[in-house]
């Protein structure tokens, strides 16, 4: 069975929202490996995966869907945001003391030397996040490189709803009203980035609208004084 046919069957079974990276980890890993071989892409290491980009390649991310095309979001940025700078696509490395015990080496590669790969599905659940985050109020998520606020969640839903959706898709998942648009942009292919060049993840719209699947290592920073 071809890759495209396999994905088509998944979509026929339940639509785009049924294509969840977490329960289909083995499938996405296989797809990622075959795509990497076909494009001669060099993997970043065993702690990385390609599910976010894989989904975008099959039309589940990238350009806004029909249900979201009339929205003022996402705010689209130009490719120049991710131009090469002093440290990859950023001016400096990630902060030394990232929140939730996030791996600094993984964070630096994903944030600054990467456009397509992601932390593996479910990585955020292996950190201290769920044990230490305040579940009674909104949490501000800061850029792991610059310390600028990028997301504030949950908004318009409960913390339980935020966690449920994030677990379903494999990565912390944010909605339009939870994005600090002053500091976040989406490129035409759906890549979510900070205005300073930090790779964050991808916009993978579903039937509820834009859904920003974000690497926890990209938003584990602290505000800089």
Task: Name the one residue in this structure whose structure tokens are 């659940």.
Answer: 125
User: What is the C-alpha to C-alpha distance for residues 3 and 108, in angstroms, rounded to an integer?
Assistant: 31
* Residue 206 contacts residue 143 (beta carbons within 8 Å): no
pLDDT at 71: 77
**Rounded distance between C-alpha atoms, residue 54 and residue 73, angstroms:** 22
Q: Using an 8 Å Cβ cutoff, are 118 and 110 in contact?
A: yes
pLDDT at 225: 78
How much is the pTM?
0.74
Tokens found for residue 84: 């090469």
For position 33, what pLDDT does the model report?
46
Q: Which residue, 132, 112, 115, 116, is CA-closest to 124?
A: 132
Note the pLDDT of residue 45.
54
**What residues of the chain score a pLDDT lower than 50?**
2-43, 53-68
Q: Tell me if residue 61 falls in helix, strand or coil.
A: coil
Q: β-pairing, 149-153 with 199-203? A: unpaired
């Amino acid at each position: 069975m071809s890759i495209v046919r396999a994905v088509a069957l998944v979509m026929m079974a339940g639509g785009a929202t049924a294509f969840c990276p977490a329960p289909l980890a083995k499938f996405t890993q296989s797809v990622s490996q075959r795509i990497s071989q076909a494009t001669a892409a060099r993997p970043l290491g065993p702690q990385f995966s390609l599910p976010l980009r894989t989904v975008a390649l099959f039309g589940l991310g990238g350009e806004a869907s029909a249900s979201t095309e009339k929205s003022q979001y996402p705010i689209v940025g130009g490719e120049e945001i991710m131009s090469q700078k002093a440290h990859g696509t950023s001016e400096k490395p990630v902060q030394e003391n990232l929140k939730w015990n996030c791996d600094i080496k993984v964070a630096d590669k994903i944030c600054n030397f990467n456009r397509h790969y992601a932390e593996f599905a479910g990585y955020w659940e292996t950190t201290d996040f769920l044990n230490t985050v305040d579940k009674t109020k909104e949490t501000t998520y800061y850029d792991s490189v610059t310390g600028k606020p990028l997301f504030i969640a949950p908004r318009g839903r409960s913390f339980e709803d935020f966690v449920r959706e994030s677990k379903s898709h494999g990565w912390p998942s944010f909605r339009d009203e939870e994005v600090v648009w002053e500091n976040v942009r989406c490129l035409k292919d759906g890549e979510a980035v900070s205005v300073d060049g930090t790779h964050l993840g991808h916009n993978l719209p579903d039937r509820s609208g834009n859904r920003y699947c974000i690497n926890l290592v990209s938003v584990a920073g602290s505000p800089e004084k």
